[in-house]
Chain A
Amino acid sequence: MTATAERPATTIFRRPRSTTGLWSWLTTVDHKRIGILYGYAAFFFFVIGGIEALLLRIQLAQANAEFLTAGAYNALFTMHGTTMVFLFIMPASAAFMNYLLPLLIGARDVAFPRLNALSWWIFLFGGIFLYSTFIFGTSVPPVSPDGITGNLAPGGGPGSFNWLADSPDGGWFCYQPNCGPLYSPGTAMDYWALGIQILGLASLVSAINFIVTVFNMRARGMRLLRMPVFAWMTTVVAFLLLFSLPIIAVALFMVAFDRQFGTVFFAATSGGDPILWQHLFWLFGHPEVYILILPAMGIVSEVLPVFSRKPLFGYSAVVFAGAAIAFLGFGVWAHHMFASGITPVAQAAFALATMTIAIPTGIKIFNWMGTLWGGRLRLSTPMLFAIGFLAMFTIGGLSGVTHAVVPSDWQQTDTYYIVAHFHYVLFGGAVFGLFAGMYYWFPKLTGRLMSDRLGKVHFWLQFIGFNLTFAPMHWLGLQGMVRRTWKYAPETGLEPWNLAVTVGAFIIATSIAVFMFNWYRSKRRGALAGMDPWDARTVEWMTPSPTPEHNFSEPPVVTRLDHFWHLKYDEDEEGRPVRRPEADEMLAHLEDVGRHPTTPIHLPNPSYFPLVMAVGIPLVFYGIIYHTSAWGKALIVVGALIMLAALIGWGMEPLEEPHEAHEPEQEGVEEESGHV
């Protein structure tokens, strides 16, 4: 380390030095800053996806409405689903994981900080790549098998906003052969397939990083079964990503090859199999559902105990149930395909497998209720969202069991009943959980509290709006409202409830506006939070707020689960907590030491190269889309050269840039890691 630090300053490979301003954000490898970047980007895409949803709902508020053209409608539902899954919930969860995982396990950063920055930049450019389809993508009407081009009336038929139709319109599920080259010509679906490919790469990189972090960077005494549940769920999700993303990567390459290079993996006319795509997609897609929900379950498992002033009921059961859900999640994919004509034996087997998932899910729900039981429940905003999660997710779980009842699913699949179900799981579940986490950790992030009054307004608006939007979809589906339909006939009798749903969607939008205002105002003028505003239990609250760059001046030495709580509280003979007399003094000491570290602290240096590397990737993918043209080929070469240059720089740059703030410490962070 000393040798590299003495590298002459004339070397072309310098580590960036900015600690403030734009350059510091572009070159940061700090997990907290990366988490914040992820968070804002995810929220931006949440708003975009929400606007898409509102446009869809305006179209559906009336029977036979002509607000959107069919093409615009199809593009909007495709991009709404894709955005909410890949550009909102996944990166929002990644934001929490990045910011919190090292803090929760008492570490100073993740195992590979530059890799962490790389995954963020790949994600960002993947999202931009995907959305650039609205500018560059084309989507021309389909071609019938005899080569006759389909016809579109001028302007794309009845309705408006047809300019939106030139974007991916094959659904986020990209079912073949509709999504193949014959029926979705144009480049829009290429943007989709390759965009998801890039985003998958980002998640894969983070997954490996988080796994290594959890197994190597824990503070002394932070045994695996002393980790907070959120850290556990991060680990489980990282493994899910690690095992499921390669499947979709292969499948997406097959799609891209079919579209770009004339292979026929999914073309039935040439002996390919369109159903193969569904197996591959859902073999990834179902674990993906748990990738989306498990982080929120982790958040809720942190929030409920703190606001009940009780430990999590059945900690190990909750952890193992999470792992069991993830494991079983790989064996249920064909329940998305009960109507596809798979054999009755397969249908029965997947029905039983699907039912078994209800058992660990139930274990979680009952343990959360056990946590609330007998507690002193403070109904602050994070708690309201966590309880909202618990109630809404239960509904989604129950409707989920009805899909395992195969014949019943034959009626419900591809109707709004399914739309209702997965929004109860992913919005009522994941999004409520994420909001609980945002209110809960906002003080950690900013040192201020969010307004509780506005938070409650947000919660109740969102809760009412959510139920008005998605509850009626259950019976709309059972009354025969088919999914992904641009129009429905007035004779179907579906109009009144659809209008109610649209009203609900706008109430949700209002609630999100309240949240954004609250966030903006509280960041500037919120009440100062202090180090431990919620009387929390886990070690991330043992550092000052906002978190100092080095996280912990003295990494905690963990003695038991909920380490921080037990430093503050003893238990009397009845098992009730009694505040230790020295608690306040300890907090003051922690605050002081946290702000003013007594020893120099080694932190990873910022780097240019994750950003440079990530710039190269979308260029290559743009080149693949236009590979038949000369400039397309040139883009591939340029992108590859940039990646190569970044790789060389990555390897060659000095480990340390000697400057005053970060004197290398004699004992590295490595030696402080814990033991299993």
Chain B
Amino acid sequence: MLRLIRGATVAAMALLLGACQLIGNEDAPLTTFRPAGPNAERIDDLFWLVFWIATAIFVLVMGALVLILFVFRDRKKEDAREPKQLHGSPKLEVLWTVIPALILAVIAVPTVSSVFELTGCEDDSMRVELTGHQWWFEFHYPDQGVDTANVLVIPAGEEVCLEMTSDDVLHNFWVPALHGKRYLVPGQTTLLRLEASQPGEFWGHCAEFCGLSHSLMRTRVQAVSRAEFDEWVAAQLAPANLPADGTPEFDGYQVFLNKGCTQCHTIRFDDEASSNIVLSELFNGPDLTHFASRNVFAGAVLPEGGETHEQALARWLADPPNVKPGSFMPNLALTAQEIEDLIAFLESNT
């Protein structure tokens, strides 16, 4: 008998663990269950504290409810007695007012203190200016002078302060492994501190409904060591390579110049004359100077489903609004050859 109970317990525990595994789904790249920095860890601790308190209350209340239903169910016996007519109990009312209040007080203390700890930034942390667009995130590093999009590169183990605003509608920057969400509000600046303890890549998503392609406004944060970060900054500051005449890259460069790409996109070359610096009031596309250094593009949506960077780019250039409805990048009716050349050119901009 004892063995049976023990066996049943082990089986139940295994089942429970399996269910938790399935529910926890630690492999989900956007999961909140795998914090990778001090801010997200602090939130995670708070979540589990509240979770276990709530679970205990849930088990008690539901257990009591099931017990009541089992014990007091009318079994339709002839001799069943009518229930005593209880009208209430002031003592119990006080009890179930005070106990929840005390439990809430226990939750309130760490809540309030963590709100103050996790809001705003340290004065000396590295700044990144983040601007939301329909439907991609633009990153500007004011101290380094770097401009990039979709992929935010940060040094691991350091606090980075995002100074965020929006160019159009509300957006909401969310990288679950690093911190909670914060709105990007047009006309205002909001702050969000990010810190990754270890190098790694973290997924993010715009969390506020921002129009037609809200679902396709995603982002990545790449945390790298300080040395790698400095290298990355140096590489980003370098101008793009002007392709040599007669190469496919050069043909692609010509497509870039002549097919309208320069209306919205900037590429900085060594030679000022070849560069097109798009005026800020016209600018509404990502800076493509080091396009190929970003592993994702088009709002960090592409490439997807195992396709290569080139395959995804071909699909994107052929008909952007079909990939991202409402995209401000129009279908430029490029020929297959033009797309091929453009890919060669863009992929050379590492």
- Complex: A470 Cα to B207 Cα, angstroms: 20
Interface-facing stretch out of B1-9, B25-33, B238-246, B339-347: B25-33
How far is the CB of A32 from the nearest CB of chain B, in Å?
Answer: 32
Residues 609-642 of chain A: 1 if any B CB is under 8 Å from the residue's CB, otherwise 0? 0000000000000000000000000000000000
What is the CB-to-nearest-CB distance from B219 to chain A, in angstroms, rounded to a whole number? Answer: 12
Stretch at the interface among B60-68, B122-130, B144-152, B250-258: B60-68
Partner of B83 from A268, A310, A315, A370 at Cβ < 8 Å: A310
Query: Contact residue range for chain B?
Result: 35 or more
Chain B 12-42 interface 0/1 with A at a Cβ cutoff of 8 Å (1 = within): 0000000000011101111111000000101
Known: A315-B88, A351-B108, A408-B43. A369 touches B68 (CB 8 A): yes
CA–CA, A404 and B103, complex, Å: 13
With CB as the reference atom, state the residue of chain B lying closest to A314. B88
User: Counting CB contacts under 8 A, is A365 at the interface?
Assistant: yes
Cβ contact within 8 Å between A146 and B57? no
Set of chain B residues within 8 Å of A399, measured between Cβ atoms: 54
B290 on interface, CB distance cutoff 8 Å: no
Chain A residues lying within 8 Å of B331, measured Cβ to Cβ, are 151, 153
Interface 9-mer from B92-100, B227-235, B267-275: B92-100
Q: Mark A316-349, 1 if CB is under 8 A from B, else 0.
A: 1100000000000000000000011101100110
Chain B's closest residue to A162 (CB) is B325
Partner of B85, one of A151, A275, A310, A404: A310
Task: State whether B325 touches A348 (Cβ < 8 A).
Answer: no
A-chain residues with CB within 8 Å of residue B112 when the two chains form the complex: 348, 351-352
| Neighbour of B325 across the interface among A152, A408, A411, CB < 8 A | A152
Closest CB-CB distance, A327 to chain B, in whole Å? 16
- Other-chain contact of B88, A313, A352, A483 (Cβ < 8 Å): A313
Does B119 sit within 8 A of A, measured CB to CB? yes
Q: Give Cα distance in the complex from A171 to B68, angstroms.
A: 42
B104 CB within 8 Å of chain A = yes
> Given the complex of chains A and B, what is the CA–CA distance between A372 and B81 in angstroms?
15
A401 interfacial by beta-carbon distance below 8 Å: yes
- Residue B101 at the chain A interface, CB threshold 8 Å: yes
Instruction: Identify the stretch in A189-197, A354-362, A433-441, A659-667 within 8 Å (CB) of chain B at 4 or more residues.
Output: A354-362
Flag whether A599 is at the interface (Cβ < 8 A): no
Given A156-B325, A183-B211, A359 and B32 contact (CB-CB distance below 8 Å):
no
Min CB–CB distance B5 → chain A (angstroms)? 28
Among A235-243, A386-394, A503-511, A551-559, the stretch that binds chain B is A386-394
Are A341 and B188 in contact, CB atoms less than 8 angstroms apart?
yes
Q: Are B85 and A576 in contact (CB under 8 A)?
A: yes
Q: How far is the CA of A351 from the CA of B82 in the complex (A)?
A: 45
Which residue of the partner chain, among B116, B186, B205, contacts A348 with CB atoms under 8 Å? B116
A487-495, A523-531, A589-597: which one contacts chain B? A487-495
- Flag if B72 contacts A480 (CB, 8 Å): no
How far apart sit A408 and B41, CA to CA, in the bound complex (Å)? 11
> Is A71 close to B, CB under 8 A?
yes
Given contacts A398-B57, A408-B43, is CB(A274)–CB(B170) below 8 Å?
Answer: yes
The residue of chain B having its C-beta at the shortest distance from the C-beta of A268 within the complex is B187
- Bits for B48-90, please: 1 = Cβ < 8 Å to A, else 0: 0011001001100110110011001110000011111111110
- B65→A391 contact, CB < 8 A: yes
Instruction: Return the CB mask of A401-439 against B: 1 if under 8 Å, else 0.
Output: 110111111111111000000000000000000000000
Give the chain B neighbours of A352 by CB distance below 8 A: 108, 112
Q: Does A198 contact B (CB under 8 A)?
A: no
A10 within 8 Å of B (CB atoms): no
Given contacts A144-B134, A481-B30, contact A377 B73 (CB under 8 A): yes
Q: Are A308 and B214 in contact (CB under 8 A)?
A: no
With both beta carbons as reference points, the residue of chain A lying nearest to B176 in the complex is identified as A480
A480/B305 contact (C-beta < 8 A), A151-B331, A351-B112 known: no
A253 within 8 A of B: no
Q: How far is the CB of A573 from chain B (nearest CB, A)?
A: 11
Q: What 0/1 readout, one digit per residue, does chain B (270-290) give for beta carbons within 8 Å of chain A? A: 000000000001101000000
Evaluate contact between A408 and B46: CB separation under 8 angstroms: yes
B107 at the interface (CB under 8 A from A): yes
Closest CB-CB distance, A13 to chain B, in whole Å? 51
Q: Give the chain A neighbours of B47 by CB distance below 8 A.
A: 402, 405, 408, 411
Indicate if A203 sits at the interface (CB-CB under 8 A).
no
The distance from the CB of B284 to the nearest CB of chain A, in whole angstroms, is 5
Assembled-state Cα–Cα distance A488/B327 (Å): 18
Contacts of A546 in B (CB 8 A): none
With A313-B87, A391-B62, A411-B43 in contact, is A347–B190 under 8 Å at CB? no
Question: Which chain A positions have C-beta within 8 A of B168?
Answer: 144-145, 177, 183
Closest chain B CB from A479 CB (angstroms) = 4
B181 beta carbon closer than 8 Å to chain A? yes
Chain B CB count within 10 A is highest, among A339, A486, A571, for A339
Q: Cβ of A64 < 8 Å from any Cβ of B?
A: yes
CA–CA, A377 and B211, complex, Å: 51
Q: Is the CB of A355 within 8 A of B104?
A: yes
**How far, in Å, is A51 (CB) from chain B's closest CB?**
22
CA distance A153 to B218 in the complex (A): 21
**Contact indicator A490/B305 (Cβ below 8 Å):** yes
**Closest residue on chain A to residue B187 by CB atoms:** A268
User: Is A650 positioned at the interface, with any CB of B under 8 Å from its CB?
Assistant: no
Measured between beta carbons, the chain A residues less than 8 angstroms from B212 are: 70-71, 74, 141-142, 150, 152, 169
Contact residues in B for A398 (Cβ distance below 8 Å)? 54, 57-58
Closest residue on chain A to residue B53 by CB atoms: A401
The contact of A317 among B93, B101, B111, by CB within 8 Å, is B93
In the assembled complex, the Cα of A362 lies from the Cα of B101 at a distance in Å of 10
What's the least CB distance linking B1 to chain A, in Å? 33
Contact status A355-B25, CB under 8 Å:
no
Q: Is A567 an interface residue (CB 8 A)?
A: no
- A413, B180: Cα distance in complex, Å: 9
Q: How far is the CB of A429 from chain B (nearest CB, A)?
A: 15
Decide if B328 touches A148 in the complex (CB within 8 Å).
yes
Cα-based distance from A144 to B80 in the complex (angstroms): 74
Which chain A residues lie closer than 8 Å to B28 at the CB level?
479-480, 492-494
Q: Are A177 and B186 in contact (CB under 8 A)?
A: yes
Q: Which residues between 361 and 393 of chain A lie within 8 Å of chain B, taking CB atoms?
A: 362-363, 365-367, 369-370, 372-379, 387, 390-391
Q: Produce 1/0 per residue, A568-579, CB < 8 A to B.
A: 000100111110
Contact (Cβ within 8 A) B82 A376: yes
Contacts of B54 in A (CB 8 A): 398-399, 401-402
Q: Report whether A576 and B169 are in contact in the complex, using a CB–CB cutoff of 8 Å.
A: no
B134 near A142 with CB under 8 A, answer: yes
Find out whether the CB atom of B81 lies under 8 angstroms from the CB atom of A178: no
Q: Which residues of B contact A408 (CB under 8 A)?
A: 43, 46-47, 50
User: Which residues of the partner chain A approach B30 to less than 8 Å between Cβ atoms?
Assistant: 479-482, 492
Asked if B118 is an interface residue, CB under 8 A from chain A, the answer is yes
Report if B236 contacts A (CB, 8 A). no
Q: Do A413 and B97 touch across chains, with their CB atoms under 8 A apart?
A: no
Cβ proximity bits A164-199 to B, threshold 8 Å, 1 near / 0 not: 000001010001111000010000000000000000
Chain B residue numbers with a CB within 8 Å of A375 are: 72, 83
> Is A484 interfacial (CB-CB < 8 Å)?
yes
A478 nearest in chain B by CB position: B32
Contacting pair B69 A344 (CB below 8 A): no
B140-167 interface bits toward A, Cβ cutoff 8 Å, 1 = contact, 0 = none: 0000000000000000000000000001
Q: Which residue of A lies closest to B284 (CB)?
A: A144
| Residue B201 interfacial (CB < 8 Å) | no
Q: Identify the B interface with A (CB < 8 A).
A: 23-25, 27-33, 40, 42-43, 46-47, 50-51, 54, 57-58, 61-62, 64-65, 68-69, 72-74, 80-89, 92-93, 96-97, 100-101, 104, 107-108, 111-112, 114-116, 118-120, 134, 167-170, 172, 174, 176, 179-183, 185-188, 190-191, 203, 205-216, 218, 281-282, 284, 301, 304-305, 319-331
6 more A-B residue pairs beyond the given contacts A158-B322, A317-B93, A401-B104, with a C-beta to C-beta distance below 8 A: A144-B134, A311-B87, A344-B116, A347-B119, A355-B104, A405-B111
Q: Mind listing 8 A-B residue pairs with CB under 8 Å?
A: A70-B326, A148-B328, A268-B188, A269-B186, A310-B84, A310-B86, A479-B25, A578-B82
